[in-house]
Structure 1
Amino acid sequence: MPNQKPVFISFYKALLFIIFTNVALVTSKSTIEPCSNSDSCNSLLGYTLYTDLKVAEVASLFQVDPISILTANAIDISYPDVENHILPAQLFIKIPILCSCVDGIRKSVSTNYKTRPQDTLSSIADSIYAGLVSADQIREANSIADPTVLDVGENLLVPLPCTCFNNTDNGLPAIYLSYVVKPVDTLAGIAASYSTTITDLMNVNAMGSSSVKAGDILAVPLSACASNFPKYASDRGLIVPNGSYAITASHCVQCSCGPGSLNLYCTPASLAQSSAGCNVTSCTYGGYSNGTIITWLSSSLQPRCPGPRQFPPLVAPPSYVTRDSVFAPAPAPQSDGAITTVPKTSTVPSTGSLPGLPPALAPFGSLSDASSLVNSLATLPTALMIYFLIKLISPFSL
């Protein structure tokens, strides 16, 4: 009579498979956007300073240009010695980052951190990077076998959350901010702070309800102005969130997105007049190519270009935290009747359905804290490997 495999062994293996499948999940707190190509986009992080830091130190923490941090928050870059200005602890600012497509998922992988004495993965994730990443995500990204042992001076990759959704929201230009939910936050409050709607936030983040919990990371669409520079321009695809500005053309031109228009408003930068290499001779800017500023009109250099002023009011670098120390965007810009070229909306599949219909052309995200097809597929190979390993070492066979 052939040997009968005990039923409890099959049950035991099935149970182990389910357990290891769940253990293998490195739970992300952020919205996941699947992707299938190697393109990248501009994105933003909502970051709360864990201690007093110079502007240059914050920039070093994320490996970005200090000037880009200042312009993203509408801070005046002509302030004396601005890069060495000390920003106060608990200040909330927006950090511009490059959002890439890595292993089929949108994330930023351009940030590295050099460990110091007393650092732990938890302190790096929760304190230094203000909850934008988890300790498990850092451990997995760096293949750390023992998370309790970190060598001083070790260079760690810090994967950070970001989304692109083709830089559109409801068919209009947008940049997405990765926002860490605070204990006092509500979805209605977040929507009001960033001039969007509860419905839009729920659709973008594939939320089944309007409840949020502290530590979750939401993708928040910020209205923006997109450029229509030619393809050969090095700054083609420039997109600027409403209420902020950007420096381009080798720091010679500044472009802003102001209320009342969906189009960029570009002028000679405040640094241009003191730089002999700028040669900005026009108020009509059409991109930067091979070291040349492309223009269609020629006029004398002016500190302020003619026409309605659309540049956002700039502020001095903050030295203390107030209740209003959140650099939120201005109200969404409105169409001025001009024809604006808008990229097609991203077609990202949703992992859940929401009651009613979403706004037209609204992007759909996938919140990994919920049941996510993306997470299941991403971790299935790991789970299968564990399963077959158990099968191999077991004295019984299936």
Structure 2
Amino acid sequence: MATILTFLLVATFLRPLATAKSTIEPCSNFDTCSALVGYSLYTDLKVSELASIFSVDPISLLLVNAIDISYPDVENHILPAGLFIKTPISCSCVDGIRKSSSTVYKTRPSDTLASISAVIYGGLVSADQIKGANPKAALSDPSVLNIGTKLNIPLPCTCFDNKDNDLPTIYMSYLVTPTDTLMGLAARYATTLTDLMNVNALGSPAIEEGDNTTTLTDLMNVKAVGSPAIEDCDILAIPLSACASNFPRYASDYGLFVPNGSYAIAASHCVQCSCGPGSRSLYCMPTSLAVSCSSMQCKRSNLMLGNVTSQSTSAGCKVTSCSYDGFVNGTIITSLSTSLQPRCPGQQQFPPLVSPPKALPDSLFAPTQAPAPAPSHSPSPSESGGFPKKHSNQKPSVLPSSGAVLGFPPTNIPTGNASVESSGTGSLVNPFSIISTTFLLGSVFKFLLSLPF
């Protein structure tokens, strides 16, 4: 009986080794693009700590997730373990393929390449990939790292010219979980199954001609984890609708793309840009964060950056606007434009903001909510200090629906002190499988005890 139990335990917990798939975009230039990485916190982390892990600006990290940055000391706010966050990164061309070259990690006590790969970065990059990206570092023994060693982390990313079907798009690298399906991901991130499969070279979702036996249920099952389409720990490129900037190449924020329903910071925290719900037009305005900024007034007018005036005429509506044209040599560039439109535009729609989350949502299995409708009245910058006011019925502990994908990463691992022996991506035992395994072993054990010996 002991032999049988031992066999069942070993067979249950050992997972077959497999190489996770990821989207690889060949490239032949030195251009970079805006990209995102989907990440679930492995433990409670301050905003500044999370930003340090990905080498990004904490304010940019919060705004891309539409988290209100007006809270006091928001950079030291503690985000809960398991929270899913979209992280902005710069996607470069390195050795002929797209990857992040700006993410730098500084090793801490007890770090190994395996723990950095599987725990700190959640399986988004393998230990071998980290080792290959740091040929000059002392990594002869990946289980013993000198404290304070700076490592380049080649996070996966894609650009595809920041377009999808010729529309502005920003791509998010997403690590597949055991409960994911392609159809579910397409619905959650407001894309189509066809787009998702085409972007990731997964073939076509169309049913073969002459196959009259395939049902919708069959089609959904084919896209489940474990099928030829996607598997646990694969890394997909998720196309997210975005608003594109039109700044000149010599601007330091050239190529700025803002995901739909979120914000971005620019011009040394002097300017914020938003991409309203369902919008394709980037709207930029002053922010209250800056201590000192260059002039934001459009020349030959009394309009400030973000101001829009309209005047009804017999020929239509005369619209005059003061727009942001990029940050050049420390100067905020603005431009004044006038156009004749069929009708006068309504109030500018802003993405709804949420409070810095303190806990995970009540239900991990609740369906993803639809994007919140824009308020009927959008306050002006002077009313809100640069941001729209929060709704009174807004839950302070829930991220926007576009980022409400949650899991159960290990919460008992101190920062930088986890030790994982596998060097591949996705080497941690998935907590969902642990729960299922516990019930299975309990049932088997009761059954064995009932057998006569």
Fold-level similarity (TM above 0.5): yes
Describe the superposition over 1:180-231 as per-residue Cα deviations: whole angstroms up to 9, x where unpaired.
0011111111111100011111100101474311111000000001112334
Describe the superposition over 1:52-107 as per-residue Cα deviations: whole angstroms up to 9, x where unpaired.
11000011111111111011101111111110101011111011000000110100
- Written as runs of structure 1 = structure 2, the 5 A alignment for 1:379-394 is none
User: Could you tell me how far apart the structure 2 residues matched to 1:131 and 1:156 are?
Assistant: 16
Query: Match for residue 164 of structure 1?
Result: 159
Q: Name the amino acid aligned to 2:196.
A: L
Query: Match for residue 104 of structure 1?
Result: 96
Query: Match for residue 293 of structure 2?
Result: 277
**Contact 1:98/1:110, CA 8 A, preserved across alignment:** yes
Q: Does 1:70 align with 2:62?
A: yes
How far is 1:123 from its partner? Answer: 1.4
User: Could you tell me how far apart the structure 2 residues matched to 1:203 and 1:157 are?
Assistant: 30
User: Could you tell me how far apart the structure 2 residues matched to 1:129 and 1:328 are?
Assistant: 27
Q: Name the amino acid aligned to 2:296.
A: V
User: Could you tell me how far apart the structure 2 residues matched to 1:164 and 1:278 are?
Assistant: 32
Query: Match for residue 83 of structure 1?
Result: 75
Alpha-carbon spacing, 1:113–1:293, altered in 2? closer, same or farther (3 Å):
closer
Q: TM-score, normalised by structure 1?
A: 0.69
Query: Match for residue 147 of structure 2?
Result: 152
- Written as runs of structure 1 = structure 2, the 5 A alignment for 1:85-234 is 85-143=77-135, 144-208=139-203, 210=223, 211-234=229-252
**Contact 2:260/2:279, CA 8 A, preserved across alignment:** no
* Higher mean C-alpha displacement, 55-64 vs 278-287: 278-287
Give me the identity figure in percent: 66
**Contact 2:46/2:77, CA 8 A, preserved across alignment:** yes
How far is 1:132 from its partner? Answer: 0.7
Describe the superposition over 1:263-298 as per-residue Cα deviations: whole angstroms up to 9, x where unpaired.
1112221325xx343543412223222333222349
- Written as runs of structure 1 = structure 2, the 5 A alignment for 1:18-33 is 29-33=21-25
Alpha-carbon spacing, 1:104–1:319, altered in 2? closer, same or farther (3 Å):
same
Alpha-carbon spacing, 1:159–1:116, altered in 2? closer, same or farther (3 Å):
same
SS state at 1:222 partner: strand
Query: Match for residue 11 of structure 1?
Result: none
Alpha-carbon spacing, 1:115–1:106, altered in 2? closer, same or farther (3 Å):
same
User: Could you tell me how far apart the structure 2 residues matched to 1:45 and 1:328 are?
Assistant: 21
**Contact 2:284/2:324, CA 8 A, preserved across alignment:** no
Query: Match for residue 254 of structure 1?
Result: 272
Which of 49, 54, 72 is the equivalent residue of 2:46? 54
Alpha-carbon spacing, 1:70–1:114, altered in 2? closer, same or farther (3 Å):
same
**Contact 1:243/1:329, CA 8 A, preserved across alignment:** no
User: Could you tell me how far apart the structure 1 residues matched to 2:99 and 2:252 are?
Assistant: 23
How far is 1:161 from its partner? Answer: 0.3
RMSD: 2.8
User: Could you tell me how far apart the structure 1 residues matched to 2:369 and 2:19 are?
Assistant: 28
**Contact 1:85/1:317, CA 8 A, preserved across alignment:** yes
* Number of residues of Structure 1 aligned to a counterpart in Structure 2: 300
Query: Match for residue 291 of structure 1?
Result: 330
How far is 1:248 from its partner? Answer: 1.2
How far is 1:307 from its partner? Answer: 4.6
User: Could you tell me how far apart the structure 2 residues matched to 1:158 and 1:194 are?
Assistant: 26
Describe the superposition over 1:24-74 as per-residue Cα deviations: whole angstroms up to 9, x where unpaired.
xx9664210000011111100001111111000011111111111011101
User: Could you tell me how far apart the structure 2 residues matched to 1:81 and 1:122 are?
Assistant: 33
Q: TM-score, normalised by structure 2?
A: 0.61
- Written as runs of structure 1 = structure 2, the 5 A alignment for 1:362-373 is none
SS state at 1:201 partner: helix
How far is 1:136 from its partner? Answer: 1.8
Query: Match for residue 302 of structure 1?
Result: none
Alpha-carbon spacing, 1:279–1:205, altered in 2? closer, same or farther (3 Å):
same
SS state at 2:186 partner: helix
Query: Match for residue 442 of structure 2?
Result: none
Query: Match for residue 3 of structure 1?
Result: none
**Contact 1:256/1:310, CA 8 A, preserved across alignment:** no
How far is 1:149 from its partner? Answer: 3.1
**Contact 1:78/1:270, CA 8 A, preserved across alignment:** no
* Higher mean C-alpha displacement, 199-208 vs 169-178: 199-208
User: Could you tell me how far apart the structure 1 residues matched to 2:51 and 2:107 are?
Assistant: 17
Q: Name the amino acid aligned to 1:249.
A: A
**Contact 1:71/1:246, CA 8 A, preserved across alignment:** yes
Alpha-carbon spacing, 1:329–1:158, altered in 2? closer, same or farther (3 Å):
farther
**Contact 2:169/2:259, CA 8 A, preserved across alignment:** yes
